[in-house]
């Protein structure tokens, strides 16, 4: 039954591009239909074989990974772009079929309107929203349209990983299927509840002061790379919040393999190497109770674009932060142009990068195995496991040392600057003498925030002119964690003294 999967996914394409000649080439699958597109290196497909291949791949991806339970509520994160709109159409397709392999989960849709961070006018934003509403309404699924401004009213709980359900491994999956068959009746009731939730959250209004606060936050970020990282993070937090509030336990993201290849390489450049597995894998358990899945990660952007065009999948182009920006405007843009240029000459580029990421997954132990999900061991912003305890040869350590050296030089220059970070001047066997930086008096948030962040998020925050422009839930949670770790230090000191007696 997975013949199609093996036929196409197992292909090795390590040769260079072969020129294709002849206008009436036949489909390589059925050998009859006229080919309409080439995928991979030189596989020519006719229209109907391409459709079959595309649809099969989606269901095979979900079937193979078995992470979604029947009847589970799954939130689809739709940005309006081609990939996430295709994902939506594949879910519709899978749910509507009467075939035995019909999908059996309960989808909802979330759209985060980030126009406020990208400098779009109210009119432009409303136009995009009404186009999206048309698409969403036609699916019949409940949907949430949330302006990014809402991050200024998020609770701190968003930053705390939830406790996950019992392991969703195969025995459980089978039980869940049985349960589904028994509880078919309840499904109708649940649907009614969804409709109510939709009414409450469909209100996409935001406060004018939050609009200003969002503008302040993004103008405080000095580089496009940092803006893109921050947008990604805040968007993730909002989606997570909507999922939890409405008891969705899975979130589907529509990232294609072309996009993931770019993300993978730019993540390395941005210092997110340690989080690669969860940032680009099929499923991402970092939030605990809500698991992120990426069912589009086997599709190239070419396949997606052709599918949408041939089968009339509607999508909405929404200009973002980097639209029409220069190739070298940010690390993310630079990587994108690097990968697509390479792909043009060596068509196996994306699949090679992509397969490399799969290997990284098997080498790295899954994050869920790392003992207790204590919030302090996770990055405040991206919730990945903190990589800052890495060994001394790491890039993280190197930046830290150069930072310390430049701070030392500053201190020599002016005595007034001494009141800096207490965590840095006292590392290892340095002593600070009488300058007073070891006293427990409160240090400004900007200095302290760093200790709570992974290497990559530190770099983003470093590009901020004013850290206090961050939304309150982040600042409050940061203070809370700082107080907690301060207390831990004090307690341990006390215990140590007791021990010595």
Partner 1 sequence: MAAPLGLHLEFGGGAELLFDGVKNHHVTLPDQSNPWDMKQLLAWIRGNMLKERPELFMQGDTVRPGILVLINDADWELMGELDYQLQDKDNVVFISTLHGG
Nearest to 92 by CA among 103, 79, 77: 103
Question: What would the DSSP string read from start to end of 262-302?
Answer: HHHHHHHHTT-GGGHHHHHSSEE-TTSSSEEE-TTTT--HH
Percentage helix, strand, coil, to 5, in the chain? 55, 10, 35
335 contact choice in partner 1, Zn ion, none (CB below 5 to 8 Å, kind-dependent): none
Q: Where on the chain is the footprint of partner 1 (CB under 8 A)?
A: 20-21, 23, 25, 35-38, 44, 79, 81-84, 254-256, 258-259, 301-302, 304-306, 309-310, 317, 319-320, 322-324, 327, 336-337, 340-341, 343-344
CB of 406 to Zn ion, least distance (A): 17
Number of CB atoms found within 10 A of residue 162's CB: 14
CB of 190 to Zn ion, least distance (A): 35
472 contact choice in partner 1, Zn ion, none (CB below 5 to 8 Å, kind-dependent): none
Cβ-contact 404, 427 below 8 angstroms? yes
CB of 44 to Zn ion, least distance (A): 9
Closest CB to partner 1 among 72 and 229? Answer: 229
Closest CB to partner 1 among 23 and 415? Answer: 23
CB of 438 to Zn ion, least distance (A): 4
457 contact choice in Zn ion, partner 1, none (CB below 5 to 8 Å, kind-dependent): Zn ion
Q: How far apart are CA 468 and CA 251, in angstroms?
A: 30
Closest CB to Zn ion among 21 and 440? Answer: 440
Closest CB to partner 1 among 335 and 422? Answer: 335
340 contact choice in partner 1, Zn ion, none (CB below 5 to 8 Å, kind-dependent): partner 1
CB of 241 to Zn ion, least distance (A): 18
Helices assigned H by DSSP within 221-377: 224-245, 257-269, 276-280, 301-310, 331-345, 349-363
Q: Is 145 helix (H, G, I), strand (E, B) or coil?
A: strand
CB of 45 to Zn ion, least distance (A): 6
Closest CB to partner 1 among 147 and 254? Answer: 254
- The owner of tokens 């580089």 is 223
Closest CB to partner 1 among 331 and 467? Answer: 331
Q: Where on the chain is the footprint of Zn ion (CB under 5 A)?
A: 27, 29-30, 33, 46, 49, 379, 381-382, 425-426, 432, 437-438, 454, 457
Whole-Å CA distances, 38 to 18, 49, 89, 186: 11, 12, 22, 45
Q: How far apart are CA 147 and CA 112, in angstroms?
A: 6
């Amino acid at each position: 039954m997975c013949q199609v999967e093996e036929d196409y996914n197992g292909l090795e394409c390590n040769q260079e591009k072969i020129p294709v000649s002849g206008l009436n080439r036949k489909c390589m699958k059925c050998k009859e239909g006229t080919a309409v597109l080439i995928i991979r290196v030189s596989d020519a497909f006719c229209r109907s074989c391409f459709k079959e291949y595309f649809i099969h791949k989606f269901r095979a991806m979900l079937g193979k990974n078995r992470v979604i339970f029947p009847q589970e509520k799954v939130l689809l994160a739709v940005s309006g772009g081609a990939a996430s709109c295709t994902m939506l159409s594949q879910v519709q397709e899978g749910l509507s079929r009467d075939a035995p392999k019909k999908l059996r989960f309960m989808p909802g849709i979330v759209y985060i309107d980030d126009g406020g961070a990208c400098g779009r006018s109210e009119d432009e934003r409303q136009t995009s929203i009404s186009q999206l509403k048309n698409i969403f309404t036609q699916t019949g699924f409940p949907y949430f349209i949330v302006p990014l401004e809402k991050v200024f009213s998020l609770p701190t709980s968003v930053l705390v990983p939830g406790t996950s359900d019992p392991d969703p491994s195969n025995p459980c999956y089978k039980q869940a299927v049985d349960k589904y068959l028994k509880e078919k009746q309840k499904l109708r009731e649940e649907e009614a509840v969804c409709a109510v939730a939709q009414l409450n959250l469909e209100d996409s209004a935001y406060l004018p002061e939050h609009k200003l606060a969002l503008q302040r936050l993004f103008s405080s970020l000095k580089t496009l790379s940092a803006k893109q990282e921050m947008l990604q993070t805040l968007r993730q937090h909002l989606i997570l919040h909507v999922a939890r509030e409405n008891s969705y336990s899975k979130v589907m993201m529509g990232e294609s393999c072309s996009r993931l290849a770019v993300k993978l390489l730019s993540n390395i450049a941005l210092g997110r190497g340690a989080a690669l597995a969860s940032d680009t894998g099929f499923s991402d358990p970092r939030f605990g109770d809500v698991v992120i899945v990426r069912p589009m990660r086997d599709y190239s952007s070419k396949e997606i674009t052709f599918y949408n065009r041939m089968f009339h999948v509607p999508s909405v182009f929404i200009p973002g932060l980097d639209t029409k920006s220069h190739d070298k405007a940010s690390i993310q843009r630079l990587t994108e142009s690097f990968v697509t240029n390479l792909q043009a000459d060596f068509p196996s580029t994306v699949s090679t990068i992509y397969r490399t990421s799969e290997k990284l997954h098997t080498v790295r132990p899954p994050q869920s195995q790392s003992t207790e999900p204590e919030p302090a061991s996770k990055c405040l912003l991206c919730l990945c496991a903190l990589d800052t305890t890495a060994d001394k040869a790491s890039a993280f350590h190197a930046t830290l040392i150069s930072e310390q050296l430049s701070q030392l030089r500053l201190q020599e220059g002016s005595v007034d600057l001494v009141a800096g970070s207490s965590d840095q001047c006292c590392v290892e066997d340095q002593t600070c003498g009488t300058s007073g930086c070891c006293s427990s008096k409160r240090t400004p948030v900007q200095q302290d925030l760093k200790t709570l962040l992974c290497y990559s998020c530190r770099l983003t925050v470093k590009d901020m002119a004013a850290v206090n422009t961050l939304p309150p839930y982040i600042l409050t949670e940061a203070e809370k964690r700082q107080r907690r770790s301060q207390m831990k230090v004090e307690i341990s000191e006390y215990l140590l003294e007791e021990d010595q007696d």
